[in-house]
Structures are given as structure tokens and as C-alpha cells.
Amino acid sequence: MRERGGGVGAVSAVVAAALFWSSSYAVTKRALDDIGPLTIGALRFSLAALLLGLVIRMNRKRPARPDTRQRRQLYVSGFLGITVYFILENVGVDMSTASDASLIVATYPLMTMLLELVALRARMPWTRVTGVLLATVGAVLVVRSGAETGGDSRWVGDILLLLGGLAWAGYNVLGKRASAGQNAMSVTYYQTLAGAAGFLLASLLEAGDWRVPDATASALVVYLAVACSVGGFLLYNYGLRRMASSVAVNILNLVPVFGVAGAVIINDESIRLIQAAGGVVIILGVALGMLERGHRTPPGPEPLAAPSSPVASPEPAAAPAPPAHATAAPGDRRPADGAE
């Protein structure tokens, strides 16, 4: 297995995963024009769970089934990292902008570090402390910009996105324990299954507004499930097996850059100077905070579960991601140790 920088194929795979996860914010914003935020989550993650289940069944070397206790832990972490996180993300994006979401989600890895410091009593060197402070300053600049240009609605949306970071951090800490000794694909499947179930129940709150979405909205939801959740997860883990995790971490710093570009291109959003400055400060803070974490995989913006986050990375979605939540979605993206 090739380590360090990896080959062109490995690098391209992780860059593609980052591109898919970062696009989820702009795509979700467009889909929200026709579908409610809870219904989007239910459709997206139900489809993602179905696709993951098919991938596992088609795999010749089917992963071992987690025991009852592990499955229970995976279900809880999946509910937190997918249902709770993506409710906050989808509603936050609906009230705010896709560009704000792309920049704020970049702070999630550092939120996870802080939770590890409190819950696991992990050591936090000065570089990490400095990175957290820088990223906090950057997030304040982004939220302040939103409050000045978008009023109370955008400001509240930015706050919901920040609260989503706390849910994502909890997902990573819980998932790390639950995924011990398990295959990353199996972990993401059970978490996505729990997240989809939670969203199906939550989506009943929007039942009065349900209608058949048009072709564009339907295609966007399929994209979120297939590309951002399942595709991002598979691409990220393909690249991660062939390169050092520190290299993958640095590549994922492209997520906010791609995300802002997508917001401008897809949603025709405009970027203010203070907002761009906040994004740069966030990226610098995250990069500095990761300097001594090179041996571990970060939580992602589009988790398959990919939280953009993402997989251990976030869009998350299902997972930064993820946020690749599933996968960890925003994004995205799950538990870091389970993905390697």
C-alpha cells in the first residue's frame, strides 16, 4: 500500500470526495426551494442506506456483523451525527446561505478536538489551541457578516450551523468507540440506517406540505444521496487507504473553498470581503490545529454519514463527511479510526 502523498489516483479520489461534499450545501439550498429540510434528509439518507446495503451485499468479503452492543452504539451515534446534525444543517442552510455553511463547517474538526479534550482528556498542544482560537475568530467574522447582510434569519441560521458542529463532534467521539474493530463500510451503513429512521420520523412534521417534487428537485436529492453520501464515502476511503491521513486532511481543507465556489456558481450568492476574510482565517486555524494530528483521520464535513462533513471526514452526509455524513458529511465523512 502506497503511503505519504499517494498516487495520482488516490489524490484525485480524495479531491473528488471533497468536491462532492462541498457541493452539498449549494445543492441542498436549491432543493429547499421545493422540498422541506426534514423531508430532504429523509429522502437522502433512506436512499443512501439502501445503496450502502446493496454495496455490502455485493461485496464478496462481507464485513462481520457488529454485536448487539456495538449496533446499539452505532445507532445512537448515527442518530446524533445524521438526524440531529443534518436537521441543524438543513434548517441552518435554509435560513442562511450555502457560502456561510461551507465556511462554518470548516470549524468542525476543531470542535471535535475540543470535545476530545473534555471527554477523553486528550492533550492539546499550543498549535492546536492557537488553531482553535483562529478558527473561532474566523467563524465570528462569518456570522457577523451574515447578521449585517441577512438580518436575524441569516444570523440564526449561522448559529444553527455552529450548533451542528457540536452534534458532529459528539458523533465522532461516540462513533470512535462504537466502531472499534469494525469495517468502515459496515459502520457507515448502520449509522446511516439509524439516521434515515430518525429523519423519516422527523419528516412527518412536514407531512402537511408534502407534494411530488419536480424533476430538478428529485435529481438534486438523488445527487445528494449518490454522490455526496455514498460516492464521497467510497472515494475518500479509496484514497485514504493509499496515502497518509495527514495528506488527506490537508486535501479536505479544499472543502470550504469548493463550497464557496459552488454557492457563487449554483446559487448566485455574493461574497463580502469580511466573509472571505473569515473563511481564510478559519482555514488557517484548521490547518494549524491539524499539524500535530497528521497520524489520524479528521472528522469530515460531509460524512457518509459524511456528516458535508464526511466517513471519517462530514458533509457532511451520510455520512462530512460530513457533515459526507455519512461518513464523516457536511458531509461528508465516520469515525476517523474506523475508516482507516
Higher pLDDT, residue 142 or 81: 81
pLDDT at 313 over 70: no
pLDDT score, position 250: 65
Per-residue confidence band for 291, with pLDDT thresholds at 50, 70 and 90: low
Average of per-residue pLDDT across 265-270: 81
Interval 166-199: pLDDT, tens: 888 888 777 777 777 777 788 888 889 999 999 9
- Which of 261-265, 276-280, 299-303 has the weakest average pLDDT? 299-303
Average of per-residue pLDDT across 81-93: 91
- Record the cell numbers describing residue 196, joined without a space: 434515515
Higher pLDDT, residue 110 or 203: 203
Decide: helix, strand or coil at residue 322: coil
Per-residue confidence band for 37, with pLDDT thresholds at 50, 70 and 90: very high
Percent composition of the chain: helix, strand, coil (DSSP 3-state, to 5):
70, 0, 30
pLDDT score, position 120: 65
Interval 102-122: pLDDT, tens: 778 777 777 777 777 777 666
Interval 45-72: pLDDT, tens: 999 999 999 988 888 777 778 888 888 8
Select the highest-mean-pLDDT range: 43-57, 94-108, 124-138, 230-244.
43-57
pLDDT score, position 321: 41
Average pLDDT over the chain, rounded to an integer: 76
Average of per-residue pLDDT across 16-20: 89
pLDDT score, position 249: 61
- Record the cell numbers describing residue 181, joined without a space: 474493530
pLDDT score, position 274: 80
The residue to which cell 442562511 is assigned: 96
pLDDT score, position 122: 63
- Which of 98-102, 154-158, 320-324 has the weakest average pLDDT? 320-324
pLDDT at 295 over 50: no
Average of per-residue pLDDT across 205-224: 93
d(CA 96, CA 94): 6
d(CA 96, CA 163): 14
The pTM for the full model equals: 0.74
- Record the cell numbers describing residue 242, joined without a space: 493509499
Per-residue confidence band for 205, with pLDDT thresholds at 50, 70 and 90: very high
8 Å CB contact between 283 and 252: no
Decide: helix, strand or coil at residue 100: helix
**Domain residue limits, the chain:** 10-290
Could you give the C-alpha distances from 318 to 42, 105, 248, 305, in angstroms and in order? 11, 15, 19, 3
pLDDT score, position 246: 59
